[in-house]
Structure formats: C-alpha cells, structure tokens
C-alpha cells in the first residue's frame, strides 16, 4: 500500500465548519491570523475602498433621486392641482403633532407648516 | 427642495444603504462559515473575514447616520426616546420598534466582534448568532416603516437577499460531508 506525503494533500481537505448546535472549538472558528493576513493584503484594501465608495455613492445617489422624484411630483401636480389639493398627495410620513395609537389606521397625509404646499413622500 | 428636506432624505438613504450593507455582511459571513463558492470559486478565508467585518462596520455607521437624521429631522418629531425605547414612538410604534431592537442587536454584534479577543468563544458565538434576528428585524422594519419599503425595487432586493440568506443557512445547517482526502482518492485509484 503506497503512502502519501501529507504535504501533497489538498489544502481543501480540511473538515467543514461544525454545525450550529456543536460545541465551539478553537480550530473551527476563523483565526485571528486570518485578519492579520488580510490586513496586510493590498487587494483587501482595494476591495474595502471600492465598497466604501460604492456605499457613499449609493447614499448620495439615493438622496438626489428622492429629491428629483419629489420635484417631479411637485412639478406635475402643480399643473393639475391647486395648492390645497397638493397637500393631499401620498405621503408615508406621520402627521404633524398627531398621536397615533398602536393598531390605529395609517396616519393621514400631513400638511406642512413651512410655507411650501408640497408633501414629503416618495 | 433638497436643502429643506436634507435630513429626511438622509434618513431614508442611510436606512436603505445600511440595510443593504447589513445584508451583504450577513451573506458574506455565511459564505465564510459555509466555505461556499462565489462566482465559481472559493474566496480566501482571510479576505472573506476582512470584508465581512468591514461591511458590518459600514452598516453600523450608516445605521447611526439613519438614527441621527431621523432625530434631527424637524418633520418627523422623533425624540431621542422614540429611537431608543421600543414602542415609545407615537407613529407606527410596532414598525419603529423592529428598528429599535435591530439597532440594539447590531450594537451587540459589533461590540462583541470588536472585543472578540477579550471574550470567550462561547459568548462571542452566542452574540454573533443574533445577526440572524437582527437581519430579520431590520428587514421587517424597512418594509413596515420605510417610505421606500413597498417600492418594487426594494421588495425585489429584499426577496433576493432573503432567498440568499435562507439558501446559505440551509447549506450551513446541512450535515457536513465527510471530506475525501487526496490520499484516500489516491488509494482508491491504486486499489482499482
């Protein structure tokens, strides 16, 4: 029977992680050395930069998109409705000063006291 | 318009981005623990762990921005108590409570992850398992309280992410296959 040098074994021949209900063991959890290895890896830094830039870009894109959508709604509604009816456009926010009890119906569209007649939904 | 409603838009945007980052962190953690292949190849554990931690940290930052912006917004009238105490909000108390509880779970998971070297494996592991209810509560909060929670884009993203998490959890819970070593395969070939 031939013998196999352990150094020639497939590095993927490691046991899988233990099931959820198993006792935690030292070898089954990610080693701190993994974090040290990754921290010294330039590709890891690149990935993190890309993720951070994507997250911040998504944040501002969403903000601008919401503002643009709101402006579009205001523009279209101003041509078809009077300011009084514009107040009744769909809004998912709470009514100013309202005390909504648990289980009560959704709050009515709010009216704004800021001098503008638009709602803040969408 | 943007200047007037900046805190409102910031609250909504930060909530959406924070939820997306939280989802990515949960998925990445499951990829790490299941050793699942991504796009046909198995990512290096060190890189996966590092990115998992980074995504969790970013999710915490955007959640903090979300909470601060909600409190700062003059329209919503959310006091500090409303975002810290479940059911203290007069507006949709149950929907907001999901988010409050999720925030505390996120804080617990992140703090124990940062202090992992000083904690026992058992404590860290038990706390880290709170990531699953955290993800569930955050998703319910986004759908029930979020202005954008019922938009088709968000509902689709939520459905895809829930399917991904459920699939990886099923993979994680499946009984582990007995590994067949190269040596065993070599012996089988020789015997044949």
A116: nearest CA in chain B? B1
A107 pLDDT higher than 50: no
Of residues B37 and B86, the one with the higher pLDDT is B86
Q: For the ranges A95-99, B3-7, B43-47, B126-130, which has the lowest average pLDDT? A: A95-99
**CA dist B67 → A73, A107, B15, B62, B101 (Å):** 27, 21, 8, 9, 13
Average pLDDT along chain B: 88
Q: Which has more pLDDT, B172 or A26?
A: B172
- Given pLDDT bands bounded at 50, 70 and 90, which one contains residue B157? very high
What is the rounded distance in angstroms from the CA atom of residue B21 to the CA atom of residue B52?
Answer: 10
Q: Alpha-carbon distance B1 to B9, whole Å?
A: 10
Q: How far apart are CA B189 and CA B192, in angstroms?
A: 5
Q: Look at B12 and A62 and tell me if their CB atoms are within 8 Å.
A: yes
Say whether B75 sits in a helix, a strand or coil: coil
Query: Under an 8 A CB cutoff, do B182 and A10 touch?
Result: yes
Pick among B20, B28, B77, B91 to test the A interface (most A CBs inside 10 A): B91
Dihedral of alpha carbons A41, A44, A50, A52, sign: negative
Residue B159 has pLDDT above 60, yes or no: yes
Chain A residues with CB under 8 Å of B87 CB are: 102
Task: Tokens for B12, please give them.
Answer: 């909504």
Contact (CB<8Å) B173/A19: yes
Question: Nearest-CA residue of chain A relative to B8?
Answer: A120
**Measured between alpha carbons, how far is residue B154 from residues B52, B69, B92, B143, B162 in Å?**
22, 21, 20, 8, 12
Pick the residue from chain B with its C-alpha nearest to A107: B91
Tell me the average pLDDT across A85-103.
39
Sequence-ordered strand ranges (E) for A1-122: none
φ/ψ (deg, to 5) at A100:
-90, 130
* Predicted TM-score (pTM) of this structure: 0.69
Distances in Å between the Cα of B11 and the Cα atoms of A121, B45, B149, B160 are: 13, 34, 13, 24
C-alpha B19/C-alpha B65 separation (Å) is 12
Using pLDDT thresholds of 50, 70 and 90, give the confidence band for residue A111.
very low
Q: Is the per-residue pLDDT at A117 higher than 50? A: no
pLDDT in tens, B7-48: 889 999 999 999 999 999 999 999 988 887 776 777 788 888
Is residue A70 a contact partner of residue A118, using CB atoms and an 8 Å limit? yes
Distance from CA of A82 to the nearest CA of B (A): 19
Residue B58 — very low, low, confident or very high, per pLDDT cuts 50/70/90? Answer: very high
Contact state of A93 with B76 under an 8 Å Cβ cutoff: yes
Percent of chain A with pLDDT over 90: 12
Q: Which two tokens stand for residue B43?
A: 């990512």
∠ CA A36-A42-A45, nearest 5°, is 80
All residues of chain A having their beta carbon less than 8 Å from the beta carbon of residue B34 are 16-17
Is the CB of A102 less than 8 angstroms away from the CB of B46? no
ipTM of the complex: 0.81
The DSSP 8-state label assigned to residue B152 in this structure reads H
| B7 → chain A, closest CA residue | A63
């Amino acid at each position: 029977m031939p013998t196999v040098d352990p150094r020639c074994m497939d590095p993927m021949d490691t046991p899988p992680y233990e099931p959820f209900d198993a006792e935690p063991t030292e070898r089954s959890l990610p080693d701190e050395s993994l974090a040290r290895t990754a921290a010294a890896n330039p590709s890891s830094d690149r990935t993190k930069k890309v993720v951070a830039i994507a997250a911040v870009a998504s944040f501002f894109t969403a903000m601008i998109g919401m503002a643009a959508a709101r402006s579009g709604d205001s523009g279209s509604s101003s041509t078809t409705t009077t300011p009084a009816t514009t107040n009744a456009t769909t809004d998912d926010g709470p009514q100013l000063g309202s005390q909504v009890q648990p289980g009560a119906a959704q709050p009515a569209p709010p009216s704004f006291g800021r001098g503008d007649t638009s709602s803040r939904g969408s | 318009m943007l200047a007037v409603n900046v805190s409102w838009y910031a609250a909504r945007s930060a909530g959406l981005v924070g939820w997306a980052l939280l989802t990515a962190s949960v998925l990445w953690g499951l990829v790490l623990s299941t050793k699942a292949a991504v796009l046909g190849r198995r990512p290096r554990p060190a890189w996966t762990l590092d990115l998992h931690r980074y995504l969790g940290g970013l999710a915490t930052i955007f959640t903090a921005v979300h909470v601060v912006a909600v409190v700062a917004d003059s329209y919503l009238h959310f006091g500090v108590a409303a975002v810290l105490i479940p059911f203290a909000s007069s507006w949709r108390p149950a929907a907001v409570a999901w988010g409050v509880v999720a925030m505390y779970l996120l804080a617990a998971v992140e703090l124990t992850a940062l202090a992992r070297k000083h904690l026992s494996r058992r404590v860290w592991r038990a706390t880290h398992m709170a990531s699953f209810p955290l993800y569930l509560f955050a998703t319910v909060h986004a759908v029930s309280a979020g202005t954008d929670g019922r938009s088709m884009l968000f509902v689709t993203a939520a459905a895809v992410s829930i399917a991904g998490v459920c699939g990886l959890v099923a993979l994680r819970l499946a009984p582990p296959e007995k590994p067949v070593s190269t040596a065993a395969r070599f012996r089988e070939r020789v015997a044949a």
